[in-house]
Every structure is written in C-alpha cells, then in structure tokens.
Amino acid sequence: MGSCLLTGGAGFIGSHLCERLLAEGKRVICLDNLSTGNLKNIEPFLKNPRFCFIQHDVTKPIEINEDIEYVLHFASPASPIDYIKLPIQTLKVGSLGTHNALGLAKAKKAKFLLASTSEVYGDPLVHPQPETYWGNVNAIGPRGVYDESKRFAEAITMAYHRVHKIDTRIVRIFNTYGERMRREDGRVIPNFITQALTNQPLTVYGAGNQTRSFCYISDLIEGIIRLMDEDYHLPVNLGNPTEISVIELAKLIIQITESKSKIEFKPLPQDDPKKRMPDISLAKKILNWEPKVKFEEGLKRTISWFRQIL
C-alpha cells in the first residue's frame, strides 16, 4: 500500500484529513509551506511513524522518493482575507501547484483528488447550485484570483484525466467550519465567534440578508473519504444544504456564547455572493452521503475550541 501525499496538510481542512487518513491506517506525507497552515494543527501527528511533514511550496517541483497511492491537493489560501492579501500566490498555487501535484500523480501512477470550492459558482444566478451550473464569476474582481485559480485547477485536472488517463476526483467544498480554524481567518464563523467571545461588536456586511450554508468539518471529511473510494471523475458538491442568513447567524452566536456584543453593520464587499447553498443530490446518490451534525451542535464544539485558543 502506497502513501497518501496531502498538499496544504497543515491547514484547517488538510489537518483534519491527515488525522482521518492516519486513523484509517494510511501513511501520510503532509506538504505545506505554512503561509496559511499552522504546525500546531499537525503537532499531535508528528510522533506517528506513519506521518511525515515536509515544508515545501507546491508551486516548486515536488520530489518524493517513495511509492504514492494518492495525491490530495488541498494547498491554497481559502479565506478572502488571505487571497486578497496573497493574490499572486493564490493564482500560482491553483495553476503551477495543481500542475506539479498532477505531475507527481502521473509519475507515481497515483490517484488524484482536487479540493475545489463553491467559489467556482461565483455570485450564483441559480439556487441551490448543482454541479452542472457553470457559474457567474467576475474574473478581474478582487475575489477572481481565488475563483479563477480553482476553475483553472478543475480544467487542468480534467485535462490530465482525459489526456494522461490519471484517475482523478474533484470535490467542490462549500462553507465548512469547526475546530482548528484560525481566529484571524476572516470568514464569518471565526469572525463572529472571536468578536462574541471578546464582547466586540459583530460586523455584519450589508443588511445581513445574504445566506450561507455551513457544513461541520467531520461531515466534510467523511464525504471526501467516500469520494476517494468512488470511481467518479466529474466535480461533486460537498456541503450542507441548510440555509441561514448572516444576521440570524450573528444572533445565534451571541445567544450561544452569552455575549454582551451588539451587531454593527458595514458596507457589503465587492462580489460578495448573495446566496450560497449546495445541491447535494449527486453526493447523496453516488456517495450515499449527507451531513449528520446539527448546526447548533457543531457551533457549540467550534465555540469551545475558540474559547481555548483566545
């Protein structure tokens, strides 16, 4: 049995995937340049003889002197605060990084899984979003660096599948939350929890009517593991189809944390999606997967994690 090589393995989702693969008895090689990942996320695995960490930038060629069974490409800044600060690095990891990861999979005759994103749908005109929807993306807007890097990554993954017969998978990940998110992550749940626990005002953009759907990390990881084993090559949405408005989310977090925080309204950022919700009929059909963790339960677990790190 070969190893699993995971790029971006010290990140929020990557570290949870490392943990699950180790629990399943796999050898895991974790590659991360730590630009947005954190060594603390993988610290508990460093003593495991089946775990290996390599600090490496995937936009540079990847050389591994052992058999690889699976390449899982999760490296990329994933929060608006990161990819707006690191626009060129984001484009490079989606293009050069994906090219290098696919090149490694080709050389090792390994399976390949790409972590794509619901951002490929942009500010969607179709709701909920099925995999067949081509999206509504502003390629030259500030968020375009992430959206287009992932759209390119999907295109090159399918090209390697068709031309080089690489055994590929593509997962489109919708909003995910849970332990090991960074306090300065910039996404709405870490923002609100950090603000509520420190009794700061919760910043809501626009009127807070925009909706999101949040999937707890353990549910997402289960979906990814199932997709790894499934012989299916086109993109698959993984996310929670339960919608909540941003203003409702703010009130819920204030209530659970028993915070004294108030809500503060700020102007809506450019190209902020008004609605974001996955159609998961495909994942239900081919993976027999749907989220199990109730939103409030997942939020409570995430809040207790933030209490420890704040």
Active site residues: 146
Q: Counting Cβ atoms within 10 Å, is residue 297 exposed (0-12), middle (13-18) or buried (19+)? A: exposed
End-to-end CA distance of the chain: 41
> CB-based contacts of 6: which residues, under 8 Å, 6+ apart?
14, 17, 18, 21, 28, 29, 30, 31, 72, 74
Measured in degrees and rounded to the nearest 5, phi and psi for residue 157 equal -65, -45
Handedness of CA 38, 42, 47, 49 (dihedral sign): negative
Cβ atoms < 10 Å from Cβ of 46: 11
